[in-house]
Amino acid sequence: MADSSPFVGAGARRRLAPALVVPGLVIIGFVALYPLVLALLDSITQRDNGQSPYAWVFDNPVYLKIIWRTIVTALIVAGMCVLVGYPLAYVMATTRSARARSVLLLLVVLPFWTSFLVRVFAWLILFQPDGIVESVLQPFGFDGAILGSVWAPRIAMVQLLLPFMVLPMYATMRGIDPSLLRAAESLGASPREAFARIFLPLSLPGVGAGCLIVFIMSLGFYVAPALLGSPTTSLVGQAVFQQVGTLLNFGRGAALAAFLLAITLMVLGIAALMRRLLGSRTSDA
Amino acid sequence: MSISSRRSALALSAAAAMVVLAACGGSSSDESGLTAGDLGGAPEAGVVKDGVLKGQSVQFVGYGGDIQKLQVGILTPWATKSGAKITQDSPTDYAKLKAQVTAGKGTWDVVDVEDSWAAANCGTLLRKLDDKIIDRSQLPEDNKGTDCAVPIVGTGNIFAYNADKLKTAPQTWADFFDTKTFPGKRGVYAGNPVAIFEAALMADGVAASDLYPLDVDRALKKLDTIKSSLVFWTTGAQAQQMVESGQADMGIFWSGRVLNGVKAGANWKAVHDRPLLQYDVLVVPKSAPNPVAAMSLINFALGEEASTKTTEGSGYPGTNVNSKPKVDKVTGEFQANVAPFKDPVTIDSEFWGKNVADYIDKWTTWING
């Protein structure tokens, strides 16, 4: 494969490749790996009255509960992003109007140009008691405060993270050859069947990539739950902040963060496994 | 005194400082060799001698915003008189302070922090304050600070309520826990259980003098009775928003935040029963490059004039006993350390400093339950 590059000969390319990754690796090494190793060391070596940070987590089941709540929240946010994002990405990828496509793309990307914090504060205003969101929900029998509920940060996170779901799905869908669908239909499949048996499976890698990004980013969210949620339904980010920011207990903060890291690695592992299984199945077929 | 004898006196005092340093593991001597003796005799709160700190510089760190502007304004005469310069940073960030101390190299000299945090980190992150530089005699008897910290401005944790919503005025802490007579949402601080545990115990009949050590299980049991009526705030701005927006009908708030809400038009009133006082304290991190000048500045902040200006400018009580601030009537209603408030209780910062981590675990378990 490597020899097929029209720009650089294979030999030159092989010699260049290590040099090309050095700057990136150096940055990642210093700003990500090195602090991560230090934090993990803290979480392993620190003792408070003889207790290790991990023993502390298991001694206070509330932190396991908070970790579990964080996982559930991340799953819900990823799920809601798929529900909202898939149709949007589908229309963006399949519309024949170039203008509609650019307008939709612009709308998806627009939030990137607004400060994250500003968007959270915007939600803070929308979620006010008797504010817009509450008055819209009231006719549907919603009664109570949305601000400070577990749903306020989830709704906001869907909006904040939607681009990370839509863009990979859109990229994958754009790569699906429309003639495959036409072929299916010419062979007698209904449009619905063509979608379900051709388009949907081919778009799944995009959905998977989007879900991974959104799920992993949700795990570490701090600002939205801190400002919109309630401490009664806090997520891991808030617990980490409490330990590190106010109690200066870096070890315990790192232990909580280590759980997130473990979950993330597990999810990545599962994703890699699934890709291999699915990949081998398609190559068998 | 001739120049050479002055120089040898300086050298001697520097040498003496080294000995002290070696003996007690770090006291107030500068990298520049400045010592307490150079400040010109016994300290008096609020007083600094002319020109004693010429060429020195102190970095003051507060919580930023209007309050820091006010603080630095109040401290400026110290700079003018002593010849030192004040630089600023903000906001106070405990993790950053720890990082400076751990690195053994910092820029922060004087930091405005919470009293219980200072008590918990005295000797590890914070320097012991030097009595030869800092005069505590004008602080209240029951509030002299700790080895590493002196109180400069108080915050009352007060029971306040929306007078438009509550037809009968609650009178005591017990009323805060009486959801039958006084139904409504109660806003309380979520970050830690300081003050709310005390309030619960007093409402349950514990005398203020018997509060410590706190009976946490009893406090949580009392809190169970109003749990469904609680709403939580985590920042002062959120508290004020609760007051102004009607998200809470009553609550335990920092007095100044309710005052701000009232000034913005909210019809809220304070219950004057036993406010729980906490203090902002000034500390010197171990990594401070200019500890002598820093402590001189702290000594100035303890003066009567600084205290008076603090109260008049912020509405929060200062700590100098001779201070007689003039405040308007509304502000007076929220001055938690004086009448009409009855029997203010000073929260035991040393007790909290020792126990806050464990109590936060219990508190987090309780509010997430």
Q: Report the complex ipTM.
A: 0.77
Q: Considering the entire predicted model, what is its pTM?
A: 0.79
B333, B301, B334, B336: which is closest to B320 by C-alpha?
A: B301
Query: Inter-chain contact B191–A242, Cβ cutoff 8 Å?
Result: yes
pLDDT at res. B183:
95
CA distance B253 to B278: 12
The secondary element (H helix, E strand) that includes residue B271 is strand B268-283
Helix (H, G, I), strand (E, B) or coil at A207: helix
Q: For residue A141, give both structure tokens.
A: 């029998």
- φ/ψ of B145, rounded to 5, equals 85, -170
pLDDT digits (tens, 9 = 90+) for A259-274: 999 999 999 999 889 8
Contact B344, B140 (CB under 8 A): no
Q: Which of A80-89, A107-116, B102-111, B249-258 has the lowest mean pLDDT?
A: A107-116
* Residues of chain B positioned with their CB less than 8 A from the CB of A145: 231, 247
pLDDT digits (tens, 9 = 90+) for B163-203: 999 989 999 999 999 999 999 999 999 988 999 999 999 99
Bridge partners, A8 (sequence order): none
CA distance B139 to B115: 15
CB < 8 Å from B in window 208-247 of A = 226, 230-234, 239, 242, 244-247
A144, closest residue in chain B (CA to CA): B247
The sign of the CA dihedral A245, A247, A248, A254 is negative
A252, closest residue in chain B (CA to CA): B357
Mean pLDDT of the region A64-93: 96
pLDDT at res. A2:
46
Strands B250-254 and B150-162: antiparallel
- Please indicate if any CB of chain B lies within 8 Å of the CB of A39: no
B197, B196, B157: which is closest to B279 by C-alpha?
A: B157
pLDDT digits (tens, 9 = 90+) for A1-42: 444 555 556 666 677 778 888 899 999 999 989 999 999 999
Strands B150-162 and B268-283: antiparallel
Task: Kindly tell me if the per-residue pLDDT of A136 is higher than 60.
Answer: yes
- Please indicate if any CB of chain B lies within 8 Å of the CB of A187: no
Helix runs in chain B, H state only = 3-24, 65-82, 94-103, 115-120, 173-176, 196-203, 216-224, 236-245, 255-263, 291-301, 304-314, 329-333, 349-367
pLDDT at res. A6:
54
Cα dist from B21 to A166, B18, B154, B293, whole Å: 62, 5, 33, 17
pLDDT digits (tens, 9 = 90+) for A226-255: 989 888 889 999 999 989 888 888 999 999
Helix (H, G, I), strand (E, B) or coil at B82: helix
Min Cα separation B291/chain A (Å) = 23
* Residues of chain A positioned with their CB less than 8 A from the CB of B246: 129
CA distance B22 to B27: 9
Query: Inter-chain contact A246–B192, Cβ cutoff 8 Å?
Result: yes
Helix (H, G, I), strand (E, B) or coil at B270: strand
B273: Cβ contacts below 8 Å, ≥ 6 apart: B159, B171, B172, B173, B342, B343
Cα-based torsion angle of the residue sequence B87, B90, B92, B98 in order, rounded to the nearest 10 degrees: -70
* Residues of chain A positioned with their CB less than 8 A from the CB of B228: none
Helix runs in A95-220, H state only = 98-109, 116-126, 132-137, 151-174, 178-186, 191-194, 200-219
CB < 8 Å from B in window 50-69 of A = 60-63, 65-66
pLDDT at res. A147:
84
Gyration radius of chain A over CA positions: 23
A168, A280, A277: which is closest to A216 by C-alpha?
A: A168
From the list A147, A247, A248, the residue facing B360 with the nearest CB is A247
* Residues of chain A positioned with their CB less than 8 A from the CB of B360: 242, 247
A185: Cβ contacts below 8 Å, ≥ 6 apart: A191, A194
* Residues of chain B positioned with their CB less than 8 A from the CB of A148: 231-232
CB < 8 Å from B in window 137-156 of A = 145, 147-148
Helix (H, G, I), strand (E, B) or coil at B182: coil
Percentage of residues in chain B having pLDDT higher than 90: 65
- Please indicate if any CB of chain A lies within 8 Å of the CB of B98: yes
Contact B310, B62 (CB under 8 A): no
* Residues of chain A positioned with their CB less than 8 A from the CB of B190: 230-232
- φ/ψ of B269, rounded to 5, equals -130, 155
CB < 8 Å from A in window 119-138 of B = 121
- φ/ψ of B125, rounded to 5, equals -105, -20
The secondary element (H helix, E strand) that includes residue B345 is strand B345-346
Task: Kindly tell me if the per-residue pLDDT of B5 is higher than 70.
Answer: no
Is the pLDDT higher at A135 or at A284? A135
Query: Inter-chain contact A234–B368, Cβ cutoff 8 Å?
Result: yes
From the list B93, B234, B364, the residue facing A62 with the nearest CB is B364
- φ/ψ of B189, rounded to 5, equals -75, 135
Task: Kindly tell me if the per-residue pLDDT of A135 is higher than 80.
Answer: yes
Q: For residue B118, give both structure tokens.
A: 């200072």
Concatenated DSSP letters of B118-169: HHHTBTTTBPPPPTTT---TTS-TT---BTTBEEEEEEEEEEEEETTT-SSP
